A and B are shown apart, each in its own frame.
Chain A
Amino acid sequence: MTESSEITPEQVQHLASLSRIAMGEDELKALAGDLTTILGNVARVNEVVGDDVPATSHPIPLSNVLRPDVVGQTLTSEQALAAAPAAQDDKFVVPQILGEE
C-alpha cells in the first residue's frame, strides 16, 4: 500500500456487505476518506523500514506451542446456551440465513 492509494466508497461498500453491515452513502464516503488517511499514515512506516526488517505476524519469536490431545473441561449445553438470545432443542437459534441458494 503506497501513500497514493485511495480507498473508494465502492470498496467500503464491498467490505461492508462482506461484513453484513448496512451503511448509508454519507457513511461510505466519510469512511472512505478516513481509511485513506489511516492507510496513508500507516504506510509511512515503510519509509523507515530497511531491508533488514522482515515482515512479522508475531512480536515474540515463539513457535510450536502445542497441547497434548487430552480432553479438558467442557461446558454443559445449558452453560453454552446461557448467553444465547434464543435457544431451541439445545441449539442456538439464529435468524433466517439470507443470500444462499
Chain B
Amino acid sequence: MKYEDAIKKYDPVIGIEVHVELGTVTKMFDAAPNSFGGGPNSNITPTSLGLPGSLPVVNEKAVEYAIKIGLALGCDIAESCRFARKNYFYPDVPKDFQTSQSDEPIAANGEVEVELEDGTMVTIPVERAHMEEDAGKNTHVGGATGRIHGAVHSLVDYNRAGVPLVEIVTHPITGTGERAAEVAAAYVRTLRDIFRALGVSEARMEQGNVRADVNVSLRESPEAPLGTRTETKNVNSFRSIERAVRYEIARQATVLESGEKVVQETRHWHEDTGETTSGRVKSDADDYRYFPEPDLVPLVPSRDWIEELRATLPELPAQKRRRLAAVWGFSDLEMRDVVNAGLLETIEDTVDAGAKPSAARKWWTGEIARLAKQQERHPTDLVTPVQVAALAQLIKDGRLNDKLAKEVLAGVVAGEGEPAEVMTARGLEIVEDTGALEAAVAEAIAANPDVVEKIKGGKMQAVGALMGPIMKATRGQADAGKAREMILAKING
C-alpha cells in the first residue's frame, strides 16, 4: 500500500528516541578521553573494559549537560535519581550490562515546540531524558559488506564504550496525520539545534553524535487504542528519518490490509534501499532485568545547582527566531526563508555590524545567495557580515545604488578588497558631479524633442524615456532622483 493511501486509511502514531553523545572531555563513568583520535582501543581504562575490580565514578560535567538538556526541554529535574543496570549480552557492551537509568530518569515531563517548514507549530510531548553510556563498535568480518549475516567473527573497539549519552524519549505523538514523517524529522532537527545552542554536543548527525530510533504504529482512527508498534533503530539523518517513517507506515498498512498483524519488533533501516527489515523480536523490558547499580550512589542535584544551570541556559533557537522576527519586522515567510537558508546568525551579525535588517536580508537571501548558488558554495563563504554591512552603508549614504552595489559585491567576492576599495578602484561611485549630470540631462533633452513635448503636455511618465540616455552617458552612476528633478526643472522651468 502506498504511503498516500495508507495515511488516508490509518491514523499513524509515532514515538522517537534520540540519543545524543555529550561533548565532555572524558567518558561517563571513567577518566578515559571522550574522543576518537588515536587507534582502536586506545581511549580506555579498566572501567571502559569492565575489568574485574574496576569501579565507575560519575562525570560531573555529564550530569550538568544532562540537566541543561532537561531544562531546555522544559522537563522537571529529579530531586533524586539512580543509575540502573540494563542487562544484555552483546560484545560491544564489555560489562554485559549498560549503565543507564530506568524508573528514575534525571529529567521528565517536558515538551518541545517544533516548527515545520511551512511554519506550522507542533508540540512534542517528552516523557523523559535519562543518562547512560554508549557501547563500543563492532566490525563484522567475513560477511558481505560488514553485515552480521555470514560473518565468521567480529572485531570490537571499545573507544566509544562509556561515552556519555542522554536519551530523550517522547510520549506517543498523535494527531500528526499525513505529516507524521515530516514531524519526526523536524523534531530531531529541533533537538539537534537545541544541543548545539546548549553547547552540550557537536551534535553532528553524520558523525553519529545524534542517533534516532523511530517507533511507528497505525490505528483505524484517532479514537482507537494504539496499534502494535515497530522500532526502527539507528536512523541517522533527517532525510532518513522521514523516509523510514513513510516506509513503515506504508509497510504496516500493507500488512494490516492483508489481514495480518503487525509484529512488535526491532527493525533495521537500510539507507541504500530505503527499506526496513525485520530485526529481533523486541524483548520485554523485563528481560533487561533492570536493577539499581550498586556501584553508584544516588544523584541528588541540589536546587541551587539546577537554578544556577537554568540561569546559564542560552536563548533557544525557537525563542531566538521569534524574538528576532519581531525585532527585525520580518514576516513569517521571510523569517522561514532566512532560517531554511541557514542565514539567521549571519544576518544577525550583519545587523550587529550596522546594517538595517531588511537590507541584510535582501542582500544575503538575494544577490549573495544567487552568486553562492552559481559557485556551489555557501553564501557565508563569499563575503563577511561586516562587508555586507559596509555595502549597505554605501547605499544608504547615496554613494551606490543597488545596481552598482551588485558590481561592487562581485568585486568583493572576487577578492578585490573591501566594498569601499572596490567601489573606488572600479570607479563605480555615484556621480556627485552635478556638472556632468547637468550636461547629460541637457544632452538628452536636446536629442529627444518629441519626449520633451509629451512631458510639457503633462505626460510625466515620459520622463523615463530620457533616463536611458542619461544613465548611458553617466555609465549608470547618475542618481536617478536627482536627474529627474533636473529634467523637470529644465523643461518646466
Interface residues, chain A, CB within 8 Å of chain B? 14, 18-20, 57-58, 60, 62-77, 80-81, 88-97, 99-101
**Using an 8 Å CB-CB cutoff, how does the interface string of B151-177 with A read, 1 for contact, 0 for none?**
111111110000000000000000000
**Out of A57, A72, A76, which one reaches B42, CB within 8 Å?**
A76
Q: B468 — which chain A residues lie within 8 A by C-beta?
A: none
User: 4 other contacts beyond A72-B31, A92-B156, A92-B158, with CB at 8 A cut-off?
Assistant: A18-B289, A70-B26, A72-B30, A101-B279
Q: Using CB atoms, name the residue of chain B closest to A98.
A: B148
Q: Using CB atoms, name the residue of chain B closest to A14.
A: B287
Q: Using CB atoms, name the residue of chain A closest to B39.
A: A90
Inter-chain contact A101/B153, CB cutoff 8 Å: no
Is B353 an interface residue, CB under 8 A from the partner? no
Q: A57 — which chain B residues lie within 8 A by C-beta?
A: 82, 291-292, 294, 298
**Out of A65, A71, A80, A101, which one reaches B158, CB within 8 Å?**
A80
Is B318 an interface residue, CB under 8 A from the partner? no
> Complex Cα distance A19/B298, Å?
27
> Complex Cα distance A96/B25, Å?
34
Inter-chain contact B149/A90, CB cutoff 8 Å: no
Q: Using CB atoms, name the residue of chain B closest to A100.
A: B148
CB distance from A40 to the nearest CB of B (A): 20
**A-B pairs, 5 with minimum CB distance:** A72-B31, A57-B292, A69-B61, A91-B155, A66-B60
Inter-chain contact B157/A64, CB cutoff 8 Å: no
Is B33 an interface residue, CB under 8 A from the partner? yes
Q: Using CB atoms, name the residue of chain A closest to B38.
A: A77
Inter-chain contact B153/A100, CB cutoff 8 Å: no
CB distance from A8 to the nearest CB of B (A): 15
> Complex Cα distance A65/B154, Å?
36
Is B46 an interface residue, CB under 8 A from the partner? yes
CB distance from A12 to the nearest CB of B (A): 14
- A71-B31, A74-B45 known; A65 vs B26 contact (CB < 8 Å): no
Q: List 22 A-B contacts (CB under 8 A).
A: A18-B289, A58-B297, A60-B297, A63-B298, A64-B301, A67-B59, A70-B25, A71-B26, A71-B31, A72-B30, A72-B31, A75-B44, A77-B42, A89-B40, A90-B39, A92-B91, A92-B155, A92-B156, A92-B157, A93-B153, A97-B91, A97-B140
Q: A67 — which chain B residues lie within 8 A by C-beta?
A: 31, 57-60
- A58-B294, A65-B58, A97-B148 known; A70 vs B31 contact (CB < 8 Å): yes
- A92-B158, A95-B153 known; A77 vs B41 contact (CB < 8 Å): yes
CB distance from B302 to the nearest CB of A (A): 8
Inter-chain contact B297/A71, CB cutoff 8 Å: no
Inter-chain contact A74/B294, CB cutoff 8 Å: no
Is B300 an interface residue, CB under 8 A from the partner? yes
**Out of B151, B280, B296, which one reaches A99, CB within 8 Å?**
B280
Inter-chain contact B45/A72, CB cutoff 8 Å: yes
Q: A63 — which chain B residues lie within 8 A by C-beta?
A: 80, 297-300
Inter-chain contact A68/B60, CB cutoff 8 Å: yes
Most buried by B among A63, A66, A80: A80
Is B365 an interface residue, CB under 8 A from the partner? no
Q: B90 — which chain A residues lie within 8 A by C-beta?
A: 97
Inter-chain contact A18/B287, CB cutoff 8 Å: yes
> Complex Cα distance A84/B90, Å?
16
Which residues 294-316 in B have Cβ within 8 Å of A in the complex?
A: 294, 296-301
Q: A74 — which chain B residues lie within 8 A by C-beta?
A: 31-33, 42-45
Inter-chain contact A101/B157, CB cutoff 8 Å: no
Q: B59 — which chain A residues lie within 8 A by C-beta?
A: 66-67, 69
**Using an 8 Å CB-CB cutoff, how does the interface string of B274-290 with A read, 1 for contact, 0 for none?**
00010110010001010
**Out of A18, A71, A96, which one reaches B154, CB within 8 Å?**
A96
Is B109 an interface residue, CB under 8 A from the partner? no
Is B455 an interface residue, CB under 8 A from the partner? no
CB distance from B382 to the nearest CB of A (A): 39
- A57-B294, A77-B39 known; A89 vs B300 contact (CB < 8 Å): no
Q: A81 — which chain B residues lie within 8 A by C-beta?
A: 41
Most buried by B among A19, A93, A97: A97
Q: A19 — which chain B residues lie within 8 A by C-beta?
A: 89
Is B63 an interface residue, CB under 8 A from the partner? yes
> Complex Cα distance A99/B91, Å?
13
Is B62 an interface residue, CB under 8 A from the partner? yes
Inter-chain contact B154/A97, CB cutoff 8 Å: yes
> Complex Cα distance A72/B63, Å?
19
Q: Using CB atoms, name the residue of chain A closest to B291.
A: A57
> Complex Cα distance A72/B300, Å?
25
Inter-chain contact A100/B280, CB cutoff 8 Å: yes
> Complex Cα distance A58/B296, Å?
9
Q: B289 — which chain A residues lie within 8 A by C-beta?
A: 18
Q: A92 — which chain B residues lie within 8 A by C-beta?
A: 41, 91, 155-158
CB distance from A101 to the nearest CB of B (A): 5
Q: A65 — which chain B residues lie within 8 A by C-beta?
A: 57-58, 296-297
Most buried by B among A58, A66, A69, A77: A69
